[in-house]
Amino acid sequence: MNELYGSTGLFPFLLQQILSDVHTVSASLCFLQIFCLYSYGGVEFLNLAIMSYDRYLAICYPLQYNTLMTWNKIAMLTALIWCYPFLMNLFITYCLTASLQLCGNVINKVYCDNFYVVNLACSDTTLNNVFGLTHMFTVIFGLVMLIIYTYIRILKVCYSGSKQTRQKAVSTCTPHLASLLNFSVGCFFEIVHSRSNTVQSYLPNMLRIFLSLYWLTCQPLVSPLMYGLNMSKIRIVCKSLFSGDKM
């Protein structure tokens, strides 16, 4: 659902720009796109962090999993995944960014980006910068530490357990880990090339466009393949399709 939501926040707007050859957008639609894309990224990253915690409980405490991961806890974590990014980005987009006085109207990007809009402001952006850095170092850093901790514990179990335990851990964690790396690498490239003038000066324009779209396009494209092929029934169907055998 989140990847469909993120794709909807990008592709209709992008296709309209390409097909109509009109490269302008109203301020209200620009802020709406910022909200959609940033909330998509927040939900995706928080979801991947919670999934790593879930895999940690399933592998490190298999006999206690149903006790530790109750339905109430699942409901609470699901509500956190969806509510926090939307409320946080609602505050960032419409309370902080939209209230700025802008002295420019040109964004050198194929979609609206909060960082680029803030750079167009001629009013004081101290609150935006302080809040953005504080949020990044508390929430994002905390989630990264959670992911690292869970996978360190999972690796310890893999190395100390039996061959069957290692195989189960690998089959359970591979799709999630691949999805996590794909999304994290895409976000890292986006942050570095967008916020570094030195990097931008060395990158060709087409490569800059590709890097800016990577984190928004590759995750919805690759995730169904990674999680789908991890299911035995789908693997059997794919093998029969490629081999020409009848089901």
Domain ranges across the chain? 2-173
Q: pLDDT of 155-183, one tens digit each?
A: 888 777 677 777 777 777 777 888 888 88
Which residues, other chains included, contact 161 with Cβ-Cβ below 8 Å and sequence gap of 6+? Answer: 169
Annotate 160-196 with b (16+ C-beta within 10 A) or e (fewer): eeeeeeeebbeebbebbbbbbebbeebbebbeebbee
How confident is the model at residue 88, as a pLDDT? 93
| Domain 2-173 grouped into CATH 1.20.1070.10 | yes
CA–CA dist 84, 43 (Å, integer): 8
Q: What is the pLDDT of residue 246?
A: 57
Residue type at position 247 = M
For the whole prediction, is pTM greater than 0.75? yes
pLDDT recorded at residue 81 = 94
Q: Which of 38, 27, 26, 33 is nearest to 8 (CA)?
A: 33
Given a cut of 70, the residues of the chain with pLDDT beneath it are 161, 198-199, 230, 244-247
Q: Which amino acid is at 44?
A: E
On whether the CB atoms of residues 42 and 84 are closer than 8 A, the answer is yes
Separation of alpha carbons 188 and 191, rounded Å:
5
> Could you tell me where the beta strands, DSSP code E, fall in the chain?
none
Q: What pLDDT score does 156 carry?
A: 83
- Quote the pLDDT of residue 244: 65
pLDDT of residue 169: 74
Query: 32 is written with which tokens?
Result: 């709406």
